[in-house]
Structure 1
Amino acid sequence: MQSLELWFGYLAVGLTISSFVPQVWRSIRTRSVRDLSIWTLIIFVCSSSCWLTYGILIQDVPIILTNTIIVILQITLLYLKIQYRPGKVNTRIEHVAFWVKNLEHMADFYASHFSATKGSLYTNPSKRFSSYFLSFKNSDTRIELMHNPEIGKNQNSKDPTYGLTHLALSVGSTKQVEALTEKCRISGLKVITKPRTTGDGYYESVILDPEGNCIELTA
């Protein structure tokens, strides 16, 4: 009988923990905790802490185990709620991009000289566009190498030329992309491309900074 009680106790441990893990994982992945109430999280942390204390006092292992992990998960959510609160933009450099003449040669150069890892080749035949993303072991910032045979042909126009072309900033979520794009528009900056999902799966907009440098805002 005691083993049956213990089995149900540990089953409760697993189910209770699993109810919080998806939310924590989603919040970390999307950097969005907009729909979570900070006061609910605070009450959860206090409640679980009381249960943990109770479990320690009566020496009940399932209660101790459950609430130790739950408190950690709830504190994580509370931290994310504060870190990603509305109005605070959590920006990081996602990638820098270059137009290149020889895509394979440039990708191999960064791979051989700087130990970059070359991603899958992306192509858009209708636009004659192809690109590689290069990543580095100890950094989240990447390099995007882009190629189009039409680039650089008309040097007298404002068309793109070879070399550094844009800086991509990750701002944390699709809602932040939309909000910051609108903020830039209202402040008088030029919006080149409104927020949309690109062919290679990015949700982004493109603006020009005050001196005309191209900035991608991406989730």
Structure 2
Amino acid sequence: MTIDWVSIVGTIGACASVASFTPQAWKIIRERSTKGLSLAMFALTTLAFAAWTTFGVLKGEWTLVIPNAICLCFALFILGMIALPQRKTEEVAEAIDPVE
């Protein structure tokens, strides 16, 4: 049996990419603020994940599509929260995680 190092490295990269957005999204929800986050950076990040997802679909490479589509969703959420007025950001965060 041989070890498929390419698949292992790809899986690690995919998991790390997806996991990297979770803490940022949760921090926005918990703190109800996007202060300090760059709209331009998340716009470019969203574009990058949209392009990688599209590339994966066109190539039929579902190992590219799935993690990049998940990251695209996170990036879109964060981008949307940054673009919203503070009051709306707080409302969305409250709807997701109500403060008791």
Normalised to the residue count of structure 1, the TM-score between the two structures is 0.38
CA change 1:74–1:2 in 2 (3 A) is same
Higher Rg: 1
Pair 1:76-2:56 in alignment: no
Structure 2: which 5+ residue stretches go unaligned? 92-97
Distance 1:29 1:3 in 2: 40
Indicate yes or no: 2:64 matched with 1:66.
Answer: no
Instruction: Could you tell me which runs of 5 or more consecutive residues in structure 1 were left unpaired when the two chains were aligned.
Output: 93-139, 143-219
For 1:46, the aligned partner's letter is L
Q: Distance in 2 between matches of 1:9 and 1:141?
A: 38
Match of 2:27 in 1: 26
Deviation at 1:62, TM superposition (A): 2.1
Describe the shift of the 1:58–1:28 C-alpha distance in structure 2 as closer, same or farther (beyond 3 A). same
TM score, norm. by length of structure 2: 0.78
C-alpha RMSD of matched pairs (Å):
2.2
- Alpha carbons of structure 1 residues 141 and 71: separation in structure 2 relative to 1, 3 Å: closer
Q: Give, as a single letter, the amino acid of the residue that structure 2 aligns with 1:47.
A: A
Query: Equivalents in 2 of 1:61, 1:43: separation in Å?
Result: 22
> C-alpha distance in 2, partners of 1:35/1:141?
23
Aligned CA distance change for structure 1 residues 75 and 141 (closer, same or farther; 3 Å): closer
Please tell me whether the aligned partners of residues 33 and 81 of structure 1 are also in contact (alpha carbons under 8 angstroms).
yes
- 1:89 equivalent to 2:80? Answer no
- After superposition, give the CA deviation of every residue in 1:53-79 in whole Å (9 maximum; x if it has no partner): 111111222211121001000001012
Percent sequence identity is: 21
Select the structure that is richer in helix: 2
Which secondary structure does the structure 2 equivalent of 1:35 belong to?
coil
Greater percentage in strand: 1
Alignment match, 1:42: 43
Please list every run of at least 4 consecutive aligned residues from structure 1 whose deviation after the TM superposition is greater than 3 angstroms.
88-92
Q: Which residue of 2 aligns with 1:177?
A: none
Identify which of structures 1 and 2 has the higher relative contact order when contacts are C-alpha pairs closer than 8 Å and 6+ apart: 2
What is the distance in 2 between the residues matched to 1:28 and 1:44? 19
Shift of 1:26: 0.4
Q: CA deviation at 1:2?
A: 7.5
For residue 67 of structure 1, give the secondary structure of its aligned residue in structure 2: helix
- Deviation of 1:81 after TM superposition, in Å, equals 1.0
Structure 2 SS opposite 1:89: helix
Deviations 1:81-111 (A, max 9, x none): 123x4xx43577xxxxxxxxxxxxxxxxxxx
Using a 3 Å threshold, how does the CA distance of structure 1 residues 32 and 141 change in structure 2: closer, same or farther? Answer: closer
